[in-house]
Amino acid sequence: MTIGVILVGLGFILEGLIPTFGAVLVAQLIWGFGYTFISGAREAWIADEVGDKYAGKAFIKGQQAEKIGTFIGIAISMVLANIDIRIPLIAGGLFYSMQALYVAALMPERNFTPTAAGKRETFKSMGKVFVEGAGLIRRNNVLLVIIIASAIFGMFSEGWDRLWTPYMIKDFVFPAIGNIKQVAWFGLIAMVEAFLVLAVTEIFIRKTDLSDHRSTVKGLLWANLLLIVGVIGFGFAVGFPMAVAMYWMAAMFRGTKEPLYNAWINQNASPKMRATLFSLCSQADAFGQAAGGPILGIIAGVVAVKAGIIAAGLILIPTLFLYACTLKKHKLVPG
């Protein structure tokens, strides 16, 4: 994980230092390579260290802490961007890479037993873990639903993340208030978003038993339903105020869904396979992004950007049926 943090930060720094297409492409490759070291490892480490009983709440609290950092970071970035838009990228990359010191010093692995050096056969071990993970998914219907839901959410997120900004710019007139520029409006929208996610996740943490399968899935069902309403409402928005309100609704419940989803994964993973399952979910999400992004992009290009937004919301509807089906099943932890 320490290696991943350093590489992700370096990706941001390179992107800010050399604003050319080639450099940005290389920066994204570095970022993506670095993220492979983080994907699954962070969530598995948290669950191992705090235990299954408290992991769900830890995921929620982590999400809330992230939004507090987002709020502060946006405020600072808005000031720095007025000097040079590259400065926030460079500064953010530096601070992100510096997390490696924190990770190395203050994130001990007390409950991790490494494989003996003489028994490490990296590629053989990787293949064995993958086969075991695939076997668990075949035997456990809940795990299969988790993987499918990850892929569907990846299809949605790639289209949503790429389309909502151009949709706002192209289809809506930003209010002229003082010297507030368009880029500042996006900063203000993101700051309010961070505050709203904080508030909504606090409500969900009070209403949901994150160690219980049914309670967590009910939370996911409601979060995804309201996310769908927000996304489709955003696509049909009339006027800037309605568009911003619908965007905030979608952002609130998207942010709330993530820690609930991590808690659900943790409930259905044994300590031995936890990191593997988190990684498989991340890979399913990436597959969904690769498959769904171009489709939604084509819809946006051929029909209209708003059509791509609405289609992204419709893609999420099958997750509601998946969650509803799993409510009939009990938590099943593979051995």
- Do 198 and 287 fall into the same domain? yes
Q: Percentage of the chain surpassing pLDDT 70?
A: 83
Residue whose tokens read 């899935």: 217
**Do 87 and 131 fall within a single domain?**
no
Q: Is residue 116 part of a domain?
A: no
- What is the pLDDT, as a whole number, of residue 19? 82
Residue 312: pLDDT band (50, 70, 90) is very high
Whether 114 is in a domain gets the answer no
In terms of pLDDT, which residue wins out, 78 or 10?
10
Rg of the Cα atoms in the chain: 21
- 79 vs 44, more confident: 79
> Is 117 domain-assigned?
no
Examine the pLDDT at 309 and tell me if it is beyond 50.
yes
Asked if 88 and 147 sit in the same domain, the reply is no
**Confidence class of residue 109 from pLDDT cuts 50, 70 and 90?**
low
In this structure, is residue 131 part of a structural domain? yes
State the alpha helices, DSSP H only, in the chain.
2-17, 21-38, 41-50, 52-83, 87-106, 122-139, 141-171, 182-207, 213-235, 240-267, 274-302, 305-315, 317-326
Same domain, 191 and 105: no
Q: Mean pLDDT, to the nearest integer, of 39-61?
A: 71
| Domain end marker among 75, 109, 143 | 109
Give me the CATH number covering residue 279: 1.20.1250.20
Residue 225 lies in a domain: yes
Res 130: pLDDT: 58
- The answer to whether residues 152 and 301 touch, using CB atoms and an 8 Å cutoff, is no
- Together in a domain, 177 and 302: yes
Domain edge (last residue) among 80, 109, 138: 109
Is 35 among the domain residues?
yes
Q: How many domains does the chain have?
A: 2
Q: Are residues 237 and 213 in the same domain?
A: yes
Task: Tell me the three state secondary structure of residue 26.
Answer: helix
The DSSP code sequence of 237-292 is: --SHHHHHHHHHHHHHHHHHHHHHHHHHHHHT--TTTHHHHHHHHHHHHHHHHHHH
Task: Looking at the structure, tell me whether residues 24 and 96 fall in a common domain.
Answer: yes
191 and 320 share a domain? yes
User: What is the tens place of the pLDDT at every residue in 233-266?
Assistant: 999 999 999 999 999 999 999 988 888 888 888 8
The SS3 call for residue 77 is helix
* Residue 115 within any structural domain of the chain: no
Full domain range(s) for residue 228: 122-330
pTM of the model: 0.78
182 and 239 co-located in one domain: yes
Residues 32 and 158 placed together within one structural domain of the fold: no
Question: Does 168 share its domain with 73?
Answer: no
User: Residue 129's pLDDT band (boundaries 50, 70, 90)?
Assistant: low
Boundary (domain end) residue, out of 109, 138, 156: 109
The whole-number average pLDDT for the span 167-195 is: 85
Distance of CA 201 to the CA centre of its chain: 15
> Is 184 within the bounds of a domain?
yes
**Contact criterion met (CB below 8 Å) for 212 and 58:** no
| Residue 270 and residue 166 share a domain | yes
Mean of all residue pLDDT scores within the chain: 82
Q: Residue 61 — very low, low, confident or very high, per pLDDT cuts 50/70/90? A: confident
